Amino acid sequence: MSKIKDVLHEKRGVTEDHIKKLEQSGKEGVRYTAMMPDIPFLVLGLLSDIGWIIHLVAGIIYLCNNGLHHALDYVTLVALVAVVFGVGYIIYLNKIHEKEIATKLQKDLSFGMTVYAGLAGAIVGILQLVTYTSVSSEIVWIVVGGFLNFAAGAPIYFSFKKGIFYGVK
């Protein structure tokens, strides 16, 4: 466990070094720091990843099998696109070493978009289960994945505190 903590804290250290360089050049802007310790951040992040993957795969299978026939199908598609955008933005922030210390816009477009798209997908899935006459297993998995994504990702999103804080372990 100590090895994992060391690797995670080293990664966060790279992010902190990047932000310090931005501060020196006066380009850091207003930042929000993820105040969650490294191990809970990792565990919740992995659970959220499992959730959005389930949501995405089930949504793609559902739309490929059933097409876009109802308004709720289009909303499902929008939720899936939002999940992909949010995850892509998280990957981008990780690449530029700004994931754990992000601007408000970065935080909202990455973690916020992913988390709330999961919630939206789950709610739309419930509406589809109630509205449609036949129950599809893909819709059930969309609901499960969306809620798992939201339940695990929301604590990360809400852990961001305004300001730059170094040394969060």
pLDDT of residue 62: 95
Angle at the Cα of 157 from the Cα atoms of 140 and 8, rounded to 5 degrees: 105
pLDDT of residue 29: 82
24 neighbors 103 (Cβ within 8 angstroms): no
Is 168 part of any domain?
no
Is 140 part of any domain?
yes
Is 79 part of any domain?
yes
Distance, in Å, from the CA atom of 126 to the CA atom of 18, rounded to the nearest integer, reads 43
pLDDT of residue 38: 84
pLDDT of residue 1: 65
The whole domain housing 29 covers: 2-162
pTM assigned to the model: 0.88
Is 167 part of any domain?
no
Distance, in Å, from the CA atom of 72 to the CA atom of 34, rounded to the nearest integer, reads 34
SS3 124: helix
Is 123 part of any domain?
yes
Beta-carbon count within 10 A of 99 CB: 23
Q: What letter represents residue 133's amino acid?
A: T
Chunk the chain into consecutive blocks of 10 residues (it has 169) and report each block's average pLDDT, rounded to whole numbers.
73 78 81 89 95 97 93 96 97 91 94 97 95 88 98 96 79
Is the CA virtual torsion 33, 36, 41, 47 positive or negative?
negative
Partnered with residue 32 across adjacent β-strands are 102, 163
**How many structural domains are present in the chain?**
1
Residue 143, token pair as written in the block: 């609901």
Is 169 part of any domain?
no
Beta-carbon count within 10 A of 83 CB: 27
pLDDT of residue 101: 85
SS3 163: strand
How far CA 68 is from CA of 8, 42, 64, 77, 123, in Å, comes to: 42, 36, 9, 9, 18
